[in-house]
Amino acid sequence: MKGWRDAAGFLALAIVWGSGYPAIRAAVRGIDPLFLAAVRFDLIGVIVMAYVIASGRQWWPARGDWGSILVGGGLLIALHNGLLFVAQTLISSAMGAVIISTVPILSVAFAIPRLPDARPTPIRVLGILLGLVGVGIIASPPPGALTSPDPVGVGIMFLSAAVFAFASVEIRHRRTDLPVTSLQAWMMLVGGPLLHVGSLVVGETQALAYRTDVLVGFVYLVLVAGVVGYLLYFTLLDSLGPVEINLVGYVEPPVAAVVGWVALNEVISPNTVVGFAVIVVGFTLVKRQALASFVQGLRGP
């Protein structure tokens, strides 16, 4: 029963987070992207922190926890999501989800000089290069196409993935004993105000358009992809472990593609599909040892 619950939870998380990309595309039609991200993390941070306190977990950080909180709030929440939300005004849901799936590959690249378990072997280097090739394929125009992907949008989304990967390595390097739910809540409560500052600096409108598609996208991002998604993630992280939960990033792009096609009439380009396949191969090479251990665990003693 536990195996079935974990599998159902994993699939639910992939659907919830994969659908978040089309929700962003819908919401930014009536809410400026940085302001949208700021309000989203304000609300999620308050709700997750309330959950942490109600569940009796340690919620107040020790002095050594603040480094992780500031790195996570500044980079993982504010900068990563700010870039992601801006990029989703320029490229499709599926394209955004596929580019973000390079995060585990880029994390290994950033970890090489910092962590002893990320040695630059030839296979790992090949996997990292394949991840970059996959992004290049996505950014290139399909043969015979009249239009090409917005290179600025692709570049901003790739930078968003790189920021997430770098921040993940830094947080792992600084990790303390603060529960992951508490750490995430504090990151959101730091990152939300930083996003507000960024929104004001670039002169965004501090309001939303009262349209059905915009409001549905906003509510979905906060309550479903936000609160439900993060709490589901915390539960699965304890149950499955970090390797297995990372695999959700490779189920999200097909979900984003289908939901974007059905809800927003987005076209899935052949290059996005081919680029995703190349990125998956790169991920498999980079994480082959962890994946082998995972498969061996499924097979049993």
The one-digit pLDDT tens for each residue of the chain (301 residues) are 567 788 888 899 999 999 999 999 999 999 999 999 999 999 999 999 999 999 998 999 998 899 999 999 999 999 999 999 999 999 999 999 999 999 988 988 888 776 666 677 888 889 989 999 999 999 887 766 656 788 999 999 999 999 999 998 888 777 678 888 899 999 999 999 999 999 999 999 999 888 999 999 999 999 999 999 988 888 887 777 666 777 888 899 999 999 999 999 998 888 999 999 999 999 988 888 777 776 776 666 5
Element (H, E) at 301: none
Cα distances (angstroms) measured from residue 37 to each of 130, 194, 263: 31, 10, 21
Backbone angles phi, psi at 79, to 5 degrees: -70, -45
R_g of the chain, CA atoms, integer Å: 19
| DSSP-assigned letter for residue 208 | B
Cα distances (angstroms) measured from residue 144 to each of 1, 92, 153: 51, 19, 21
Backbone angles phi, psi at 99, to 5 degrees: -65, -40
Backbone angles phi, psi at 277, to 5 degrees: -60, -40
- CA–CA distance, 133 with 125 (Å, rounded to integer): 12
Burial of 230 (0-12, 13-18, 19+ CB in 10 A): buried
